[in-house]
């Protein structure tokens, strides 16, 4: 019941957002924006964590398992039969992944270059890219729980704001009429 109300409220918000000019005046609208910002932020964090731990973590664990800790022991993604767009993107950019995974080669195809993780970065790489708890199923469960939490917050927010307004009215001093 709460979930159905939540989604109908989302649709109503979207319709009202596009039907009226932007007016962010009230506390309820601000609260709804905060709830949606948190949902989007947690969802993005979950997707990025899954991306790091599953797609990039596969190559990191391959390098650590094969003791690729120097240019002499370096391995290529092709050696590990890893050939995906996510790894190519991470190896091209100036990201944390590229700072942890080193290469001696500077020219040629990114997937044929040989990479290694220095001993000083091995613990950091293992911590950042370990697959512990990261799976599509855990991400899906987190999204469902996030939607339930947002639905509860979305339905409780107006009541909490009304309660705060009533409390403020209750403690407001009476004007002196003399």
What residue ranges do the domains of the chain occupy?
52-132
Backbone angles phi, psi at 66, to 5 degrees: -95, 15
d(CA 29, CA 13): 9
Q: What is the model's pLDDT at position 24?
A: 47
pLDDT-based confidence at residue 106 (cuts at 50, 70, 90)? low
The pTM score is: 0.57
Tokens 């009304």 correspond to 162
Q: Give the Å distances, CA to CA, from 108 to 59, 99, 103, 111.
A: 19, 19, 12, 9
**Which CATH number among 1.10.150, 1.10.10, 3.30.70, 1.25.10 corresponds to the domain 52-132?**
1.10.10
Q: Per-residue pLDDT tens for 11-35? A: 676 656 545 444 445 555 666 677 7
Is the pLDDT at 163 greater than 60? The verdict is yes
In sequence order, what are the residues at sequence separation of 6 or more whose Cβ sits closer than 8 angstroms to the Cβ of residue 49? 134
Query: How many alpha carbons fall within 13 Å on the CB side of residue 125?
Result: 27
Lowest mean pLDDT among 24-28, 38-42, 72-76: 24-28
Closest CA to 97 of 66, 132, 121: 121
Helix (H), strand (E) counts: the chain: 7, 2
């Amino acid at each position: 019941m709460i979930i159905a109300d939540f989604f109908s409220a989302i649709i109503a918000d979207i319709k009202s957002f596009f039907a009226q000019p932007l007016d962010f005046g009230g506390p309820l609208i601000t609260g709804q924006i905060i709830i949606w910002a948190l949902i989007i932020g947690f969802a993005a964090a979950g997707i990025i964590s899954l991306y790091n731990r599953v797609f990039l973590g596969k190559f990191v664990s391959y390098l650590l398992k094969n003791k690729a800790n120097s240019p002499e022991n370096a391995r290529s993604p092709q050696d590990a039969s890893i050939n995906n767009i996510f790894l190519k993107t991470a190896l091209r950019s100036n990201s944390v992944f590229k700072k942890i995974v080193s290469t001696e080669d500077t020219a040629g195809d990114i997937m044929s270059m040989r990479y290694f993780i220095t001993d000083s970065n091995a613990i950091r790489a293992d911590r950042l890219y370990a697959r512990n708890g990261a799976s599509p199923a855990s991400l899906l469960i987190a999204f469902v729980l996030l939607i339930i939490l947002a639905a509860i917050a979305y339905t409780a927010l107006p009541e909490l704001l009304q309660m705060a307004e009533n409390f403020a009215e209750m403690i407001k001093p009476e004007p002196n009429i003399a």
